[in-house]
Amino acid sequence: MLNLAIPLALACIGAALLLNFWRLVRGPGPADRILALDTMYVNTTALLVLLGIHLNRSVYFEAALLIALMGFVGTVALCKYLLRGDIIE
């Protein structure tokens, strides 16, 4: 069962990443791209957890946590730039 579910889930996330990237390329505005990037970060978090299950390894948890954290920081920074230019004024 798992042997089927995991690849399927992986495929879903992979497809999601591709779709995100497509949005990132298309834009049209900078906000669209930030959104796409942010979603990629979130999907990657999912992917890492999934990989952990797939390879039966719990060590990827920290990486997933960190991706979530860093994705958030990146999004904040990019948006802040659009809003104020100087992100740490």
Tokens encoding 11: 């495929």
Subset of residues 28 to 67 that bind other proteins, contact rule: CB under 8 A: 29-53, 55-67
Q: How far is the CB of 54 from other proteins (least distance, A)?
A: 9
Residue 46 vs residues 2, 29, 50, 51, 88: alpha-carbon distances, Å: 17, 26, 6, 9, 30
DSSP 29: S
Q: How far is the CB of 25 from other proteins (least distance, A)?
A: 6
Query: What string marks each residue from 10 to 29 as x (binds other proteins by CB under 8 A) or -?
Result: xxxxxxxxxxxxxxxx-x-x
Q: How far is the CB of 6 from other proteins (least distance, A)?
A: 6
